[in-house]
Amino acid sequence: MLDFRLLKQRVGVEKVLQSYGMAGKLRRRGERLSGPCPIHKGDNPTAFRADLHKNVWHCFSACGGGDVVDLVRRIEGCDHASAARILGSLACGPCSPPSADSTPPAPASGFKPFTLAIPLDPCCDFLQRTKRISTNTASRFETGTSRRSAFLRDTVAVRLHDLDGRPLGYCGRRLHQDDILHWGKWRFPHDFPKNDVLFNAHRALPHRPQGVLVVECPWAVMRFTQAAVPAVVALLGTSASPIQLRWLARAPAVLVLLDGDPPGRQGACRLAASLRPYTAVDILDLPDGCDPDDLADDQLRSIVSLHPLFSLNQSGSERRDST
């Protein structure tokens, strides 16, 4: 059982704000932070204040105030128990964020986010026939083919975002077998910081307090979302970086469903071992050669909703039908 008093001693307001990327616009003077409120994203330069010595904060506009537990609850929209689990993951270990006096990792050299939207056609055989992703789902995730971009030519493009939902650019899934054999299935921008990204994290964040499903690739994310499971993120591979682990460790439970091949199974075991000190984890194993997006929507929904760890993020209509 987590001790709230101990957590408050070990995790300060500033550390919480830094872990959520909310400390950038705040000014520190001695033991005080002040600036625009990072919670409701206001622009009043005096709306938010934090006393680091007392480990309390207050928003004079709309968000209220309190201690670190109240801060996490306000950011996540969660209860005390969920806030305690999140603070526990921040308190120590490899999943905790850097401390206030540590040096943040340098951004990938040479990479510059591409923030403009490229018109994409969501109608293509690869999406609708091969992956069974509807045009509505493809449009929602900004995926499709492009005739204008040389970088995305002969690929199915997917728009990428950072953990806060800021656009970073596009990756492309190659379609021609010769290109795949020569360069691999996916094409990413030069120096793209893949280890800093969890695909769909900004959309899954509101649902994280109920648990998270982890898959390898964007297609599985789209298929699970299409099957009314919104709390799903993709590693964009089979390994997880410290940044990705910190985000996942704040969920009360994590289901790992990587591809049914040796790299996927090995990656699932590594991920589960890294997360188990901080949250409940289970691995869901697929048959040899099977990917999550090979399954039908009702199978995907059942995998999650019937799992003993938790009933993960059923749609609002399903919740109403079950009550």
pLDDT tens, residue by residue, 59-68: 998 888 999 8
Partners of 174 in beta bridges:
155
Q: pLDDT (tens digit, 9 = 90+) per residue, 208-264?
A: 988 999 999 999 999 999 999 999 999 999 989 888 999 999 999 999 999 999 999
User: Which one has a higher pLDDT value, 37 or 102?
Assistant: 37
For the record, the structure tokens of 59 come out as 């928003």
Q: Is the pLDDT assigned to residue 3 strictly greater than 90?
A: no
For the record, the structure tokens of 197 come out as 């990204």
pLDDT the model gives residue 91: 64
Domains of the chain, earliest start first: 4-91 (3.90.580.10), 125-192 (no CATH), 201-313 (3.40.1360.10)
pLDDT the model gives residue 314: 46
Mean pLDDT on 143-158 = 93
pLDDT the model gives residue 56: 93
Q: Is the pLDDT assigned to residue 313 strictly greater than 80?
A: no
Confidence of residue 305 (pLDDT cuts 50, 70, 90): confident
Q: Provide DSSP, 63-120.
A: TEEESHHHHHHHHHT--HHHHHHHHHHHHSSTTSPPPTTSPPPPPPTT-----SPPP-
Q: pLDDT (tens digit, 9 = 90+) per residue, 88-138?
A: 766 644 444 333 333 344 444 578 899 999 999 999 999 999 999 999 999
Confidence of residue 40 (pLDDT cuts 50, 70, 90): confident
Q: Which residue has the tokens 């206001």?
A: 42
In sequence order, the 6+-apart residues with CB closer than 8 A to the CB of 276 are none
Amino acid at 27: R
Q: How far apart are CA 258 and CA 96, in angstroms?
A: 24
Confidence of residue 292 (pLDDT cuts 50, 70, 90): very high
Amino acid at 61: S
pLDDT the model gives residue 323: 30
Residues 247/279, Cβ–Cβ less than 8 Å: no
Q: pLDDT (tens digit, 9 = 90+) per residue, 191-210?
A: 898 888 999 999 999 999 88
pLDDT the model gives residue 322: 35
pLDDT the model gives residue 312: 53
Q: pLDDT (tens digit, 9 = 90+) per residue, 156-190?
A: 999 999 998 999 999 999 999 998 988 889 999 98
Confidence of residue 271 (pLDDT cuts 50, 70, 90): very high
Taking the model in full, what pTM does it have?
0.67
Q: How far apart are CA 228 and CA 226, in angstroms?
A: 5
pLDDT the model gives residue 94: 42
Q: Which of 10-24, 134-148, 308-322 has the lowest mean pLDDT?
A: 308-322
Q: Which of 4-13, 48-57, 190-199, 230-239 has the lowest mean pLDDT?
A: 4-13
Confidence of residue 75 (pLDDT cuts 50, 70, 90): confident
